[in-house]
């Protein structure tokens, strides 16, 4: 055994005087504001929205070539991976106008809107920022998107998060695939993810790793058929209220909502399905694409939900609605 020198003794005393501190945890508000400048992250889908990441549709949509018509009623190129649904190609001017209107409505609600600086080459669905980023307590999880036309959107999102100073708690790796449109908060201790062609079990497991460390349970739902994301059939409106398409959710999940004291409002069968792909900006306050029938709107009003409708059909033609077009980064707790 060696004899401790005076210098070693002083060093040991210094370490004892300034010990490591595991508590409070990283995602604690005091830790985040002290070390990262803001209380980053979300623990609900309905708390007052403070910061959101978006991208205005741009020149990346020029990749759509309307001479490449597929028999399935869309334009596309399987070699490069892009596709566009509908009878006509994208109307970029109209898409930008509707997106600008959506951004203006968010700012009117007091939301800080951050934008991607650029998009990856040819990534023509980059305006649907929801899929690249899932915000959880203390920051964000960067996803790994499933389809070839989406893969690569993760890098611009990562750069945007870094520029904002938002902590990245994990980037999905290996064979994991997962997209943010298939993730939803039910309450501060429970979230749900929809397994599909865009979310595999490994993707769910890696998201769950981060949530488990925060004491959050992740429920898995196997989505039906070729449905990609849960945000086309389920939307939280308030802490105890959701809008659902019951025909495309399993019975056990509907019962789980009851157990969690979440009342489910069923969308009217005559409505455009895009209305579920909406955005709660505060408890009971929702921005929604035009096309919701009076039947559903009346159901929402009876439950105290305030709805602002906006034209968004041109953006929806690209495959995503208002929910898809927003990646929340900070919400108030509820």
* H/E element, 74: strand 74-77
Q: Are strands 306-310 and 285-289 parallel, antiparallel or unpaired?
A: parallel
* H/E element, 190: strand 190-195
> For position 272, what pLDDT does the model report?
77
Assessment of whether the complete model's pTM goes beyond 0.85: yes
Architecture of domain 38-331: 5-stranded Propeller (3.75)
CA distances from 263 to 187, 254, 256, 304 (A): 13, 9, 11, 13
Q: Are strands 49-54 and 327-331 parallel, antiparallel or unpaired?
A: antiparallel
| Contact present, 271 and 292 (Cβ < 8 Å) | yes
Tokens for 184, please give them.
Answer: 């939803």
C-alpha of 137 from chain center: 14
SS3 assignment, position 213: helix
| pLDDT tens digit at each of 334 positions of the chain | 678 899 999 999 999 999 999 999 999 999 999 999 999 999 999 999 999 999 999 999 999 999 999 888 889 988 888 888 878 899 999 999 999 999 999 999 999 999 999 999 889 999 999 999 999 999 999 999 999 889 999 999 999 999 999 999 999 999 999 999 999 999 999 999 999 999 999 999 999 999 999 999 999 999 998 888 999 999 999 999 999 999 999 999 999 999 999 999 999 888 877 789 999 999 999 999 998 888 899 999 999 999 999 999 999 988 899 999 999 999 999 9
> For position 20, what pLDDT does the model report?
92
> For position 270, what pLDDT does the model report?
83
Radius of gyration of the chain (CA): 22
* H/E element, 52: strand 49-54
């Amino acid at each position: 055994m060696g004899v401790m020198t005076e210098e070693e003794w002083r060093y040991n005393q210094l370490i004892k005087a300034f010990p490591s501190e595991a508590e409070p945890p990283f995602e604690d508000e005091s830790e985040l504001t002290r070390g990262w400048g803001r209380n980053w992250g979300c623990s609900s889908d309905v708390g007052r929205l403070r910061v959101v990441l978006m991208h205005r549709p741009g020149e990346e949509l020029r990749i759509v070539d309307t001479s490449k018509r597929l028999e399935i009623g869309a334009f596309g190129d399987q070699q490069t991976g892009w596709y566009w649904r509908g009878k006509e190609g994208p109307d970029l001017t109209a898409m930008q106008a509707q997106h600008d209107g959506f951004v203006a409505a968010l700012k009117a609600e007091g939301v800080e809107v951050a934008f991607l600086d650029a998009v990856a080459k040819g990534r023509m669905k980059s305006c649907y920022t929801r899929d690249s980023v899932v915000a959880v307590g203390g920051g964000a999880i960067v996803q790994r998107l499933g389809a070839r036309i989406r893969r690569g959107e993760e890098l611009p999102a990562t750069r945007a998060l870094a520029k904002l100073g938002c902590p990245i708690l994990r980037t999905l790796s290996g064979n994991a695939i997962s997209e943010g449109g298939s993730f939803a908060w039910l309450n501060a201790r429970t979230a749900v993810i929809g397994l599909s062609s865009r979310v595999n079990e490994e993707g769910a497991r890696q998201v769950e790793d981060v949530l488990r460390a925060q004491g959050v349970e992740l429920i898995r739902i196997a989505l039906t058929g070729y449905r990609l994301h849960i945000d086309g059939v389920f939307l939280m409106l308030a802490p105890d209220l959701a809008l659902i398409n019951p025909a495309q959710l399993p019975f056990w999940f509907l019962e789980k909502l009851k157990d969690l004291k979440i009342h489910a409002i069923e969308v009217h069968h005559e409505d455009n399905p895009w209305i579920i792909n909406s955005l709660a900006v505060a408890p009971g306050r929702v921005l929604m694409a035009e096309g919701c029938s009076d039947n559903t709107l009346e159901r929402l009003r009876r439950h105290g939900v305030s709805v602002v409708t906006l034209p968004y059909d041109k953006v929806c033609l690209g495959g995503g609605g208002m929910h898809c077009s927003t990646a929340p980064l900070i919400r108030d707790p509820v």
